[in-house]
Amino acid sequence: MPTHIPIQHPELELLSPAGDYERLVMAVQYGADAVYLAGREFGMRAAAANFDNDTLIRGVEYAHRAGVRVYVTCNTLPREDELQRLPEYLAFLQSAGVDALIIADLGVLSLAQKYAPHVKKHVSTQLGVVNSATANFLYEQGADTVVLARELSLDEIRQIRVNTPKNLRLEAFVHGAMCVSFSGRCLLSNYLADRDANRGQCAQPCRWKYHLVEETRPGEYFEISEDKGTYILNSNDMRMIEHLPELIDAGITSFKIEGRMKSAYYTAIITNAYRHAIDAALLGEPLDPVWIAETEKVSHRNYSTGFFFGYPGQHYGSSSYSQTADIVAVVESCDEEGNALLTQRNRFFAGDILELMNPDTVPVSFRADHLTDEDGQEIPDTHRAMMPFRMKLPMPVPPFTIIRKSR
């Protein structure tokens, strides 16, 4: 169970992505108040590993033992033939003990009221809630939470908060990839790749490099280059870690991290950074810059603040990502002298300068002076994927501590 105990607040929540069981564990260990995940159907991330029924039950049990809530996405727009499978699935989710369903379709909301009446209902950003009238209607229909459209400014959110019931929770995305289409409702992928973006199969063609072709000159490609390059539909990533006090003041209840298709390393590092940032905000303390720096150590595009402060400036002129560190190992166990058993995630060598990170400390640098295999035989490097090995750490640390190497 997690060693870092977040500051308790009756309303505020850090909500982290869990694309599979390993990422769920990392989100729990690194400070999430709740996680969101998908089963094998009806979720908006079809390419993620997701959860079969047995693993979903196991994940709910694990999260609940740590006091962490589990929300399951049912946020695709189901076609008529898919509706026949929904009642049984909704009833299963209730029996599995999930805490809430994330829903983007009014018909699904109605079915959930009938077949999972004891599970809370959260309305997805896919529904595009941009005003209090819509939020109030959804509340009257049984919604406990609305995930606001990403296109809203902080001033607009404040007005929605003033004009909605206090019992209605407002959720907003605070970190991760953004979509060029309104609240993610896009048909580009359908047209260009025959993959339905509204049923979890988006090919992300907004991030492709585009040129113009004149019909009488086939094969001649003209670059769309003015001041924004050829990636004319591409978005920055969002980062609001420096602005959590403003979000709290505006009335946001749940702070959502995007990334069910991101790595377990991403889940741990970003959850940990926002956990410390939220706790600092609740204490009225300034944010330690170390947690802002942590967001640079995962794979990301240029960061922006989206629409929160007016014109988004979210255009990103290339397809590149940046990352300043790579995970190389995860601690399985460690004694009081810092002698640890670890599992490899990326190759590194004896003598490398590494950094350990867990929920209880700021990053700590050390030299990997002595590596051995499981049997105590000295090795020069961690050459085999997922190999177990032993290493002396500068301090005793809990399981799930991350070891990484700067790029």
pLDDT in tens, 269-282: 999 999 999 999 99
Q: Which two tokens stand for residue 223?
A: 């670059």
pTM of the model: 0.89
Mean pLDDT within 281-293 = 96
For 144-166, the DSSP string reads EEEE--TT--HHHHHHHHHTS-T
pLDDT at 245 over 60: yes
pLDDT at 162 over 90: yes
Confidence at residue 158, expressed as pLDDT on a 0 to 100 scale: 97
pLDDT at 405 over 70: yes
Residue range 372-393, pLDDT digits in tens: 999 999 999 999 999 999 999 9
Amino acid at 391: M
Q: Which domains does the chain have, with CATH numbers?
A: 13-183+234-304 (3.20.20.70), 325-406 (2.40.30.10)
Question: What does the alpha-carbon distance between residue 2 and residue 28 come to, in Å, rounded to a whole number?
Answer: 7
Residue-averaged pLDDT of the chain: 90
% residues pLDDT > 90 (the chain): 71
Confidence at residue 5, expressed as pLDDT on a 0 to 100 scale: 63
**Inter-CA distances, 317 with 19, 181, 205, 227, Å:** 28, 17, 14, 9
pLDDT at 93 over 80: yes
Quote the DSSP letter at residue 283.
Answer: H
Per-residue confidence band for 234, with pLDDT thresholds at 50, 70 and 90: confident
Per-residue confidence band for 124, with pLDDT thresholds at 50, 70 and 90: very high
Mean pLDDT within 241-270 = 96
Contacts of 30 (CB under 8 A, 6+ apart): 2, 4, 16, 267, 268, 269, 271, 272, 275, 359, 400
pLDDT at 131 over 70: yes
pLDDT at 313 over 80: no
